Amino acid sequence: MGTMALAIEGRPASRNQAIETIHAALDAGVRYLDTAWSYYLPSQPGTGEPEDMGYGEYLVRDALATWYGPSEVKDEVLVATKTGWLRTLDGQGRYGWQADARPETMIANAKESARRLGVDTLDLLYSHCNDPQVPYEDQMGALKQLVDEGVAKAVGISRIDNEDIETAHRILGPSLVAVQNQFSPVHRDPEHTMETCERLGLAFVCWSPLGGFLDPFNEHLFDRFREVAARHGCSYQRVTLAWELAQYDRLFTIPSARNSREIRDSFQATELTLAKGEIAYLDGAAR
């Protein structure tokens, strides 16, 4: 489950509702929660006030602390966070993003993330983007330092191309376990980074697997998914996620949800098996 929708613009007015949504995900069987240092809303122009930062990480921490699942099940939950990006607010009230992947910033923010999440070591830490102002080798060096210091058990990279994957793999070796890139019928991995992940044995984690909610997209790209969903008697979102899961055996989706119903519906995609003909039909819709 992705938690961005619970922490940025459009997030539930009630913090309790956000935590209940994460509880519903855990109850359904979700065992991977994805958050980020930058999942917050600045209250002042710029990058906001210190008390704004870490909203999404605090949500995940508090949701896990108040979930009544068995302790042995809690140990199965993997929490991923990200470093190297900030939220911004301009003078006209518009939110945005700002890369800051200087090694010293990445390291300081990652250590702050561990404190917010209430852990000694992060399960999985992503570099949130490739900051064009910083050599990518230096950004990966910061991740390596965080692994060497025990701040993170494993690391991933996000919003990157095949050259970046090769660079990260060379520097990080086996501590690099995942690539998080956009993938959905709206954005069909034009760089073929999923193929590079398969060759290197890396997990591919697709963000915005249902198209995303911040940017408009062509809804007709989901027409075939609605047709298949009607035959299965379920939502087209569930069919979309099942189609994505069929692409690669180490692919994970992180759909966002703002309420319990949405995340329960999304998780049921793990129980939906599409026929080969259906997958081929849907492949055509995504091109």
Q: Say how far apart CA 71 and CA 24 lie, in whole Å.
A: 17
Both tokens assigned to 42: 């600045």
Query: Widest CA span of the chain, in angstroms?
Result: 53
Q: Are 270 and 237 in contact (CB under 8 A)?
A: no
How many angstroms separate the CA atoms of 110 and 132, rounded?
Answer: 20
In angstroms, how far is CA 63 from the centroid of its own chain? 17
Beta strands 85-89; 95-99: pairing state = antiparallel
Give the CA distances from residue 281 to residues 195, 246, 252, 253, 278, in Å, rounded to whole numbers and listed in that order.
21, 13, 21, 20, 5
Active-site option among 32, 39, 55, 236: 39
The single-letter DSSP state of residue 270 is: G
* CA atoms within 13 A of residue 261's CA, in its CB half-sphere: 1
The pairing of strands 176-182 and 203-207 is: parallel
Listed residue (141, 137, 134, 146) closest to 108, CA to CA: 146
Task: Give the residue ranges of DSSP H helices in 118-222.
Answer: 136-148, 162-172, 193-200
Catalytic status, residue 39: yes
Instruction: Give the tokens for residue 104.
Output: 């010293």
SS3 content of the chain, % helix, strand, coil (to 5): 45, 15, 35
Report the catalytic residues. Answer: 39
